Amino acid sequence: MVLLAPLRASARVGVSRTRLPPPPLSAARYFASSVIARQSAPVKQRLHSDSVLFPGAVNSKFTNELKFQRPQDLPAIPTYRLIDTHGEVVDKSREPDVSQELALKMYKDMVTTSIMDLLMYESQRQGRISFYMVSAGEEGIAVGSAAALSPDDVIFSQYREQGVMMYRGFTLDEFMNQLFANKFDYGKGRNMPVHYMSEKLHIHPISSPLATQIPHSVGAAYALRLDQSSRIVVCFFGEGAASEGDFHAALNIAATRSCPVVFICRNNGFAISTPTLEQYKGDGIASRGVGYGIDTVRVDGNDIMAVREVTMRAREMALKEQKPVLVEAMSYRVSHHSTSDDSFAYRAKVEVEDWKHRDNPITRMRKWLECKSWWSGDQDQELRTQVRKDILKAFARAEKEKKPALENLFLDMYKIPGRDLEEQMAELRRIIEEYPDEYDLEAFDRGKEGL
């Protein structure tokens, strides 16, 4: 984005040569112009310098040894963790700084998400909802990151962030209303299931096209920077989305414009049916952040406490230093990509079952809670029984509700519908009245009167 200086008077009217004084800058525009002025300061090559001091490669040492940089010669970016697969703290001097109340909320939100996923997957197979995507194996990334953010931070998510919404207070009724696209759905039935949104919770609507939320999040972060806000933007996506051009454009803009955005990439091993080994040759997604000049960290996505700590630090850096941060969270996708996918066509079932039982974020955190005597098997069974009941009750309530009124087919394009839309509404009403037996409107709010 380039901010243009005001046109001269002669350029505007083509007559007078008088140069008018520029209008006073708002605080936001003054801040932006000062940032650009600093960023465009000239870079000069010093005489007899031992380094390249050039805009394209600042401070690169000269060498007389011809050597190509080989990726395999460089160490892989390490993966940060606090708690191992047995639920034990790796470094006893660095016990997670979290209260029992917060820890139990995080655990319960993960459990609730996993049970909801299972029930909704089964309901799709029964034909009661049209589509669903589960987040099995990745609950720790969603809930752990959400626990580290301010409630006012802006979220751009993909489609496995049920745990983020759960943690922020999105209710079971709100989940079910969206899945059934009933009259209480915030999207008014216009979007696919699992495409949640919440203006109250500062969560933008999920979009089906892959990776479109990444540049959107950068634009929002740039706006917050210009407003000198105390909020940041957090953008979630999978490693498959990082193969899209939107990812590269977004990271480059975020880095060059110093946007306060935290990118959280869920690297779950598969982009639909394509394993990571066939997606890229480099060191995961984290290496790309470094390539774009972005502070980057890789974290064990099955360790919810490590995810929380990393996200807290990333948020602090993004806000105080006004710059982007990339977090790559590693967690195996133990579910099918969606209800439209059969993952056993491209991976062994025994591999999936091994990951389910050997290590997942819910089991790991339960072991840690039990080691601290904060949780027990009886409590766990009681929680799961109650959560299942609550979800089924919300499911039943949402399933009985009417679909949004037919008028929503034409609304929200403009603040006030134009004549062309009113004519289309009238034509639809005429057809329905002329052929009443062809249109069953009982399922829609207010029936024919809703048009």
Tokens of residue 273, six digits:
């049916």
Among the listed residues 244, 248, 338, 399, the single catalytic one is 338
Residue 76 is given by DSSP the state P
CA distances to 111, 146, 214 from 168, in Å: 15, 7, 21
Cβ atoms of 332 and 140 within 8 Å: the answer is: no
Rounded distance, CA 274 to CA 289, Å?
A: 22
3-class state of residue 293 by DSSP: coil
Among the listed residues 88, 122, 321, 382, the single catalytic one is 122
Cβ atoms of 125 and 339 within 8 Å: the answer is: yes
49: phi then psi, degrees, rounded to nearest 5: -70, 145
CA distances to 242, 283, 437 from 75, in Å: 22, 9, 70
Residue 403 is given by DSSP the state B
Rounded distance, CA 60 to CA 45, Å?
A: 12
Among the listed residues 49, 208, 340, 376, the single catalytic one is 208
Give the N- to C-terminal CA distance of the chain in Å, as an integer: 43
Nearest to 261 by CA among 291, 299, 298, 289: 289
3-class state of residue 240 by DSSP: coil
Question: For residue 181, is it left (φ>0), alpha (ψ between -120 and 50) or beta?
Answer: left
74: phi then psi, degrees, rounded to nearest 5: -100, 145
Active site residue 48: no
Tokens of residue 132, six digits:
């669903």
Active site residue 217: no
Cβ atoms of 177 and 445 within 8 Å: the answer is: no
Helix (H) or strand (E) segment spanning residue 234: strand 233-238
Among the listed residues 135, 174, 337, 343, the single catalytic one is 337
Beta strand 261-267 pairing with 270-271: unpaired
Active site residue 122: yes
The CA-based dihedral angle spanning residues 328, 331, 332, 336, taken in that order and rounded to the nearest 10 degrees = -90
Question: For residue 322, is it left (φ>0), alpha (ψ between -120 and 50) or beta?
Answer: left
Residue 21 is given by DSSP the state P
Catalytic residue IDs: 122, 208, 337-338
